[in-house]
Structure 1
Amino acid sequence: MSDCGCHMEAKNAAERKTLRILLIINGTMFVVGCIAGILAHSTALIADSLDMFADASVYMLSLYAVGKSAHSKNRAAMLSGILQITLAAMILIDVIQKFIWGSAPESHWMMGIAFLALIANSYGLYLLAKHRQGEVHMRASWIFTQNDVIANISVILAGFLVSWLSSRIPDLVAGFGIAILVIWGGIRIIRDARTV
């Protein structure tokens, strides 16, 4: 095998390893966050967990694309962006429902689970750092993990404000903000896929 072939195989193996770890982390945090969000009546936590589910799907699509043609990588990135936007729409529906019918979010659950997710996503960013200038499927993973870190911080802040102000509004604002962030991330990666 040529040096170029060996280098490419090593690169593909490194990408696969990173994406598998991220898939496990995000899949686990989706389950934990979703259960906690339901128990805590928190739109922000549910939004964050759905974002984790979307990212787990992105990592799965990216894992499929490793070693495939540029067309397959673009298609995986495009599907990732569409999935992100679809899940963000579901988050917006939850925000609207809770705004109309009310909710009573538990701030300590919000902050605790979001802090755990922040640790997981920060580790994910660390793993992805060496791939962030790579091909479109890996850039998609980098963009969505960055968004996760921002979402986690916003849920922690919302949990603090829910407790401090004795109001559900910060939870709804954080859920809405996460939805907008996810939509923007989806649009960015779709644009990126189209320009490659």
Structure 2
Amino acid sequence: MEKSCCQASGTAPTAHDDPRWRAILWLALLANAAMFALEMVAGLAADSRALQADALDFLGDAANYAISLGVAGLALAWRARAALVKAATMLAFGLWVLSYAVHGLVVGSAPQAQTMGLVGALALAVNLTVALLLFRYRGGDANMRSVWICSRNDAIGNLAVLAAAAGVFGTGRAWPDLLVATLVAGLAIWGSAQVFTQARRELAHG
């Protein structure tokens, strides 16, 4: 079922070596690296766990795009191994963010809704642009699919950050921010499981 709903009809299995796909990855890598720096500074200034978690997600995605560029054009087995590495980093990121959200719940926090909203809107615009550019490549091998899943999860996470900003503004409390940080962690863990499953399947058949 997962394959039928996520694999685009007509997507060429050799699209991983498409120059257009490589160009999109370079654009995504640079955009994610820039957003990591911006969002981390804003997250620390606004005391927002959700923004800081999203910033680290940008950093992880930039690294994943770099890995994808490095193995593009190699044999399927090498691309699948690279996808396993990315699945492990997505899992580690998810677990770290989850623990960080719990820490914020224990020690307390006072996130600034205005900063969360402004930076979250910019992050959403960046991730939606990248996700739309990568949409046609969502049904490729595990390496390509991991790129799509990262971008898709980022856009969903940014919508959640905006919802958290509205929640913090409306309630005057920190729990919406912590809830969204937990959601971002859950998306990373779920995405990791999807990429790991497909990569293992490709290695078994490779």
- The TM-score with structure 1 as length reference comes to 0.92
Opposite residue 166 of structure 1, the aligned amino acid is: G
CA distance in 1, matches of 2:71, 2:160: 31
- Pair 1:66 & 2:72 matched: yes
> What residue in structure 1 maps to residue 107 of structure 2?
101
119, 126, 133: which one aligns with 1:120: 126
> What residue in structure 2 maps to residue 130 of structure 1?
136
CA distance in 1, matches of 2:167, 2:196: 34
Opposite residue 161 of structure 1, the aligned amino acid is: G
Sort the Cα spacing of 1:100 and 1:150 in 2 relative to 1 into closer, same or farther, 3 A: same
CA distance in 2, matches of 1:46, 1:149: 15
> What residue in structure 1 maps to residue 26 of structure 2?
20
20, 42, 64: which one aligns with 1:36: 42
Shift of 1:9: 9.3
CA distance in 1, matches of 2:115, 2:53: 14
2:146 touches 2:195 (CA, 8 Å); kept in 1? yes
CA distance in 1, matches of 2:98, 2:83: 23
Shift of 1:118: 0.5
CA-to-aligned-CA distance 1:85-119 (integer Å, 9 cap, x gap) = 11112111211111111100000111111110100
CA distance in 1, matches of 2:27, 2:159: 22
Runs of at least 5 residues in structure 2 that lack an aligned partner in the other structure: 1-13
1:59 touches 1:141 (CA, 8 Å); kept in 2? yes
- Pair 1:180 & 2:175 matched: no
- Pair 1:80 & 2:93 matched: no
Q: Secondary structure at the match of 1:133?
A: coil
- Pair 1:92 & 2:132 matched: no
CA distance in 1, matches of 2:127, 2:151: 6
CA distance in 1, matches of 2:33, 2:120: 15
30, 45, 57: which one aligns with 1:51: 57
CA distance in 1, matches of 2:73, 2:51: 35
- The TM-score with structure 2 as length reference comes to 0.88
2:130 touches 2:151 (CA, 8 Å); kept in 1? yes
CA distance in 2, matches of 1:51, 1:11: 25
2:39 touches 2:51 (CA, 8 Å); kept in 1? yes
Aligned-pair RMSD on alpha carbons? 1.4
CA-to-aligned-CA distance 1:41-75 (integer Å, 9 cap, x gap) = 00110111111111111111111111011111001
Opposite residue 154 of structure 1, the aligned amino acid is: A
165, 186, 200: which one aligns with 1:194: 200
CA distance in 2, matches of 1:188, 1:10: 19
